[in-house]
Amino acid sequence: MKHVLSVSIGSSKRDHKVEIELLGEKFIIERRGTDGDIKRAIEIIKEMDGKVSAFGMGGIDLYLCAGNRRYIIRDAMPIARAAKISPIVDGSGLKNTLERKVIDYLVRENKVDFKGKKVLLVSGMDRFGMAESLEKAGCDMVLGDLIFALGIPLPLHSLKSLDILAKLAAPIVCKLPFKMLYPTGEKQEKVDTRHRRFYDEADIIAGDFHFIRRYMPPEIPGKIILTNTVTKDDVKMLSQRGARMLITTTPELDGRSFGTNVMEGVLVSFSDKPYKSLTPKDYEDLLEKIGFAPRIEILN
């Protein structure tokens, strides 16, 4: 039996474990949170290294992307280096492949008409593949990288402006303590609605769910939420606040849509190639083989 363990610096209240079967192979898929404690995450990885098929790195990315450039987040490096035997992935491989495919699928199957829709993508650098696909689909984009990561209420409206911002700021921002850029641990449970006008103006709210939830106003009537990493309680909350539709880019497993890091861990467990040599084409072939489908749920 294969075992994919996501070690997250997010809240332990979101821990989950399921057993599933994919292509005749049994899997344990597990998520463990450390409530913002990076040292504890490293301890868990060292303890389980070689005992699991793959690690997911949750609650923090190793890379931010813009254009064809990748920027390494300094605080993530010790976590990635803690695994010496088992592969460790942060989900960026899937974000660059699966999330592009999901947007194309939604357009092709007439599930969502993106053309002219106002889309708030809470961080374009976190999900550059999704950002490119949404812009290609004709969306009126608001990229919230300055708003939600840095607290500067200036929306970006194109990938070109994101590219300029990345060149100027990313080399510095990536060296800041990660907790300054992203809600970790107990911060994931707190709400801050000072930027609600960007939610009110959007038809579709997309991207990382912890960012979305942290800044979400009490009412989001008629909105489409495009994300992943949602629990049953999250789905209930979105429904109560009036969201019309939930789309997760990763499939539902036992009531839970895991993060891209978890599902990327599943893919590298299937691959015969060393995980660091996997290309976008390899990921696309594996996705085709497994047949992951997005979760689409009408809430109201």
* Inside any domain, residue 100: yes
Contact 100, 135 (CB under 8 A): no
CATH of the domain at 227: 3.40.50
- Pick from 74, 49, 44: which is nearest to 62 by CA? 74
Please check whether residue 299 lies inside any domain of the structure. Answer: no
Query: What pLDDT score does 185 carry?
Result: 67
* Domain of residue 213, residue span: 95-252
Over the stretch 269-294, which tens digit does the pLDDT of each residue have?
A: 988 888 889 888 888 888 888 888 88
Q: Worst-scoring range by mean pLDDT, 22-31, 115-124, 179-188, 237-246?
A: 179-188
- Are residue 151 and residue 236 in the same domain, yes or no? yes
Compute the mean pLDDT over every residue in the chain, rounded to the nearest whole number.
91
3-state secondary structure labels for all residues of 247-289: EECCCEECCEECCHHHHHHHHHHHCCCCHHHCCHHHHHHHHHH
Average pLDDT over residues 104-110: 92
3 state DSSP class of 198: helix
Instruction: Indicate whether 105 and 237 sit together in one domain.
Output: yes
Residue 142 lies in a domain: yes
Contacts 24+ apart (CB under 8 A), 223-228: 223/199, 224/112, 226/130, 228/257, 228/258, 228/259, 228/260
Q: Based on the fold, state whether residues 34 and 129 are members of the same structural domain.
A: no
Does residue 93 register a pLDDT over 90? no
Q: Are 87 and 80 spatial neighbours (Cβ–Cβ below 8 Å)?
A: no
Question: Residue 298 domain-assigned?
Answer: no
Q: What is the pLDDT of residues 209-222, one digit of tens each?
A: 989 999 999 999 99
For residues 106 and 240, state if they share a domain: yes
Q: What is the per-residue pLDDT across 35-65, written as a single tens digit (0 to 9) for each?
A: 989 999 999 999 999 999 999 999 888 988 8
151/80 Cα distance (integer angstroms): 28
Same domain, 54 and 194: no
Statement to judge: residues 120 and 238 lie in one domain: yes
Answer yes or no: do 108 and 242 share one domain. yes
C-alpha distances (whole Å) from 209 to each of 20, 43, 130, 183, 196 are 24, 26, 14, 11, 15
* 105 in any annotated domain: yes
What pLDDT sits at residue 79?
A: 96
101 & 169 share domain:
yes
Closest CA to 7 of 174, 125, 184, 177: 184
Q: Do 95 and 130 form a contact (C-beta atoms < 8 A)?
A: yes
Regarding whether 203 and 163 lie in a shared domain, the answer is yes
How many residues comprise the chain? 300
Contact criterion met (CB below 8 Å) for 205 and 246: no
Split into its structural domains, the chain has a count of 2
pLDDT, residue 64, reads 84
Query: What tens digit of pLDDT does each residue of 114-159 get?
Result: 999 999 999 999 899 999 999 999 999 999 999 998 899 999 999 9
Is 256 a residue whose pLDDT tops 70? yes
12 and 154 both lie in a single domain:
no
DSSP, collapsed to helix, strand or coil, labels residue 41 as helix
Q: What is the pLDDT of residue 4?
A: 96
Same domain for 287 and 218: no
Find residue 89's DSSP bridge partners.
56
Nearest to 149 by CA among 183, 119, 172: 183
Are 79 and 108 found together in one domain? no
